[in-house]
A and B are shown apart, each in its own frame.
Chain A
Amino acid sequence: MKRGRRAPAKPVRRPSGPPARRSTAALWAALTLGALAATVAVYWLAGRRPTAPEPPPAPPLLAGAIEDLYRRGRELLDEKRAAEALPLLRQAMQARPDLWQTHQSYAVALLNTSYDSRLHQGFPASVTRSSLERVAAAGEAIAELETAQRMAPTPRDLARARRLRAQLMGAWGFPWDAFVLYRQAQADDPSWTEPAALGDQIMVLMRDIRRTPPPGLEAGGADASP
């Protein structure tokens, strides 16, 4: 991670998430369009295979103690110690809410904490107290990722945030939601083939549930990048 200080990334407005479902007419219009697009995309993308993910972009540059917090939080995420990373990355996000990376990293910490388990006095247990806290963490992660999407400076960054949301939804058992988000990530950055491939895999599973899901498709742990 570079330690130098640099100006915070300028927030970039992007279309956010699935269309709001505020009225029945709007809902059905959105559904129909989305469904048609998705169905076309299914066939168009059939047979494509995932490629290795792009290397994560350079980490954000923060100042002083906040930079240390952020760096240490990221290291803990890499070490699969999301619960310990969480307070550090929350602090970093609160100190630099103008950086999309702090929102995304904090979201990953929330996401991974909600999945984490531990051996508690030798007894397998969740890191979080109960499902209420896990669902709240997932909801907060989604909000942070939506913020990161709105601020993402490049199509790839936007796609990366959307892909994380897709992974979250897939891991929690929302295959349709995950599929749509993967397709949106694909649309955000057509040069990045991984979301398309993951969307394809969900389609394959939904069509034939007897198949074994590929490793990682329903996994909880999210990549800590960026």
Chain B
Amino acid sequence: MVASVVGPHLGTSAGHRATRHRLAYDAGVSIDGRVRRAIGWLAAAATLAGCAARETPALDPDSVPEAFARSTAALMWPGATRAYQVTPAGDLYNGEWRVVVRAAANGVEADSPRVVAFRERWRPGARWTRRSGDVRWDFDALALPESAPRDSGLLVSLVAHATNTGSSPAEATLELALAPPEADPIFVAFDAPERPAPARWGRGGSGDTVNAWSDVTAEGERLAVRWPLAPGGSRELRVLLPAYPTAAGVLARAARRPHRAWVEESDRFWDRELATGARFELGDPELQDALRAARVLLLSCRERRGTRWVPIGGPFQYRDVWLRDGARAAAALAIAGHTTIARELAGGLAEFQWPNGAFISQRGQLDGNGQALWAFEQTLLRPVADDSVARFADAASRSWAWVEWQRGFGRLSGWPFGVMMPYGDPRDGELVRAQLVGNDAWALAGYRAAERLLRAAGRASQADSVAAARAIYAADFASLLGRTGSRDVPPSWQNVGRDWGNLAVGWPCAALPPDHPRLHRLADRVWAEAGGAGLVTYGHRDSVHDYVGADLAVWGWLAGRRAEADSVLAATLHWRNGSGAGCELFSRSARDFGRNLPPHPTTAAAIIAMVRHALIYDDDDTLRLTIGARDAWWRGAALRQAPTRWGTLDLELRQEGDAAHWTWSPVPVWTELTLPAGRAWVAPLPAPLLPGRRPDRVLAPPGTRDARVALR
């Protein structure tokens, strides 16, 4: 709202005003002048805003870990149809216009931000610092939704704060220029006009539609201030940036609330939102913040379509809906305890059902069929079946019938892989036209989901039919792998293409049992190609994929490959930026994501899935606890209010000396307890515990709520 004056240079001479062409010389504004101007809007707000950046919780952005060579962040809001990118250069861009930030001191241009960070690496307000000589520029920006009735826009409050850290006076200049997208933009807002009118600044409370607002006088698209800064002195400017051109009066009203109040409102909102979900108390602040960042991202990457909500593939270049990503987002939110929102997203995904019963969002991406059903099951059956389950069971039944219809044709064809899903050309993922193994794996996941949904809907007979069909399909699947010429699980039945859907065969699709040798060989191969367990490569050795190999972590825990599985989690956590987000693809050598901007929601979903399943795994007929619990968690950790297929569950775990101790909400199924890594139980096991299928696992009968196991 204001270019406020703080520090020892208050009231400095206005002498520069006349000499600086086209710069609004704000530094020389006297106290009287400042107060007069503030009265125009709100005097108290001016004072508050003057302290805005400094009074909000402190953060040195450059102290926040940043995995990538260039740092960027997204300013977004749930339901908003545009977002602002804070670019690696320190500009802002919303898909229609840029806010080019030129900061300088004594003629020296400020460098690019090293890290664009969120507070605590998850609270969605971006901070970044730039330097020009002795002048440090601190920027603070965050988004809030527009006032009702507008529900698809957002407003960004941006504060630029200059501090002279040197021992001699400096002259700081700041220019915020509104500009069209670059010549070769990474993204353009879908609803940006083909020929946008020149963007312009607004001031005051008029009804003029403007692209940015400040109470500093600006000339058209350009706002500039010049500040003489005494040693130790500082100045700041606050502006508002709407996602869409907005009446200046609306922005003026929004600006009456100081930036700090915006920060507090944002914090309150997100604290409240996250409190509705499960509570991860792991004794690992970095990991807990990573989970918060992941949840904030997933909650933010949603758009409305009428009364429905849909998950979008990202705030920038992937602002579209993919079943393959949306299903992951919905499922992750479900297991993180955001049940209502997850179910809303499932309702949005249901819109992708075709008249023939199939679910497809993109041409040639037949995996969407199983993914949609999987998302329904994941979201609707935890912690108890939703009232709407009958509708989804019906949809799943139609989808199942469509797949069986095709398998019937394929069976009659006599072709080698005729009973598998037909060829597809996804133009993504496997990047090949072929019969993709992942399509069948996901179809099998869809069958399992359909069976569960039908049972939950009270249609046991039909559920039995689906289960029987699944058994035949799974047998075909396992058998035909032997005819692919591959030793593991290839991307396609024709053994061509890139690894993609085949990486989901073990988990979540459960198309093969976890111990199947082909799954071990698949993991060995893709991890070897990447130089070791962790993230997998895509296309070539230097191109690392942030989420496609994450399913191997959960599979690895189920298959007893704990160290490798944990390395996947560790690598995914490492490759995040200052706002706590991962991307999709990046060059390992250059640490650069190129034009594939973070954040990517599916990476966020992967983090949630890995951590949650490491503690509580409930995807089959047994509750499995601590399959991937890290050593640090055994010092005492808990996951509370976790929705599971057997109700809401609290879990506590702790290792005390040579004993592991679990307490959990009793469930009506057997519970498998996995011991801390490298440990085995000491006989005799206390009743009612029984030996598990591996030396590091024990079984507890239904209804057990507490177990203590001696370790060796």
Contact = CB atoms under 8 A, between A and B. Distances in A.
Nearest to A34: B409
B409 A173 contact: no
A61 B275 CA distance: 63
A130 B188 contact: no
B360 A121 contact: no
A219 to B, nearest CB: 11
B66 to A, nearest CB: 28
B197 interface: no
B190 interface: yes
Interface stretch (B161-169, B337-345, B418-426, B628-636): B418-426
Interface stretch (B247-255, B291-299, B348-356, B506-514): B348-356
Interface string B355-387: 111101111111000000000000000000000
B433 interface: yes
Contacts of B422: 174-176, 206
B696 interface: no
B281 interface: no
A173 B408 contact: no
B494 A210 contact: yes
A35 B405 CA distance: 9
Interface stretch (B25-33, B39-47, B179-187, B647-655): B179-187
Interface in B166-221: 180-181, 183-185, 187-188, 190-192, 194, 196
A27 B365 contact: no
A207 interface: yes
B21 interface: no
Which size bracket describes the interface of A in this complex? 35 or more
Which of B194, B348, B462 has the most C-beta atoms of chain A within 10 angstroms of its own C-beta? B194
A28 B187 CA distance: 48
Nearest to A36: B412
Contact of B354 (A28, A132, A135, A213): A135
Contact of A130 (B196, B320, B426): B320
A218 B425 CA distance: 10
Contact of A173 (B181, B364, B462): B364
Contacts of A142: 354-355
B405 A38 contact: no
A83 to B, nearest CB: 13
B406 interface: yes
Given A36-B412, A120-B188, A209 B434 contact: yes
Contact of A138 (B322, B354, B433): B354
B404 interface: yes
25 contacts: A18-B356, A21-B357, A21-B398, A27-B401, A27-B405, A28-B408, A32-B408, A34-B409, A35-B409, A35-B411, A120-B188, A120-B190, A123-B185, A130-B310, A130-B321, A131-B321, A132-B348, A132-B352, A135-B352, A136-B351, A171-B363, A172-B363, A174-B354, A174-B422, A206-B415
Nearest to A176: B406
B435 interface: yes
Contact of A131 (B185, B190, B320): B320
A131 B305 CA distance: 12
Contacts of B363: 171-173, 220
Interface string B308-336: 00101000000111100000000000000
A125 interface: yes
B356 A132 contact: no
A120 B357 CA distance: 34
Contacts of A122: 183-185
A139 B361 contact: no
B360 A135 contact: yes
Interface of A: 18, 21, 24, 27-28, 31-32, 34-36, 38-39, 120-123, 125-126, 129-132, 135-136, 138-139, 142-143, 169, 171-177, 205-207, 209-210, 213, 218, 220
Given A125-B190, A130-B320, 10 more contacts: A21-B398, A28-B408, A35-B408, A39-B413, A121-B194, A122-B183, A123-B188, A174-B354, A207-B413, A220-B363
Contacts of A38: 409, 412
A31 to B, nearest CB: 4
B361 A131 contact: yes
Which of A129, A173, A220 has the most C-beta atoms of chain B within 10 angstroms of its own C-beta? A173
Contacts of B190: 120, 125, 129-130
B192 A209 contact: no
B494 A174 contact: no
A64 B20 CA distance: 66
Interface of B: 180-181, 183-185, 187-188, 190-192, 194, 196, 305, 310, 312, 319-322, 348, 351-352, 354-358, 360-366, 398, 401, 404-406, 408-413, 415, 422-426, 433-435, 462, 465, 494
A173 B584 CA distance: 25
Main secondary structure of the interface of A (DSSP, over half): helix
Nearest to A132: B321
B320 A121 contact: no
Nearest to B352: A135
A90 B365 CA distance: 29
B187 to A, nearest CB: 7
Contact of B412 (A35, A125, A173): A35
Contacts of B184: 122
Given A121-B194, A136-B351, A209-B434, A174 B183 contact: no
A18 B575 CA distance: 49
A209 B405 contact: no
Nearest to B312: A130
A120 B194 contact: yes
A63 to B, nearest CB: 32
B354 A139 contact: yes
Contacts of B360: 135, 172-174
Contacts of B305: 132
Contacts of B426: 173
Nearest to A180: B409
A16 B305 CA distance: 31
A220 B425 CA distance: 14
A207 B416 CA distance: 9
Contacts of B401: 21, 27
A173 B405 contact: no
Given A35-B412, A130-B321, A210-B494, A135 B185 contact: no
B423 A209 contact: yes
A179 B408 CA distance: 14
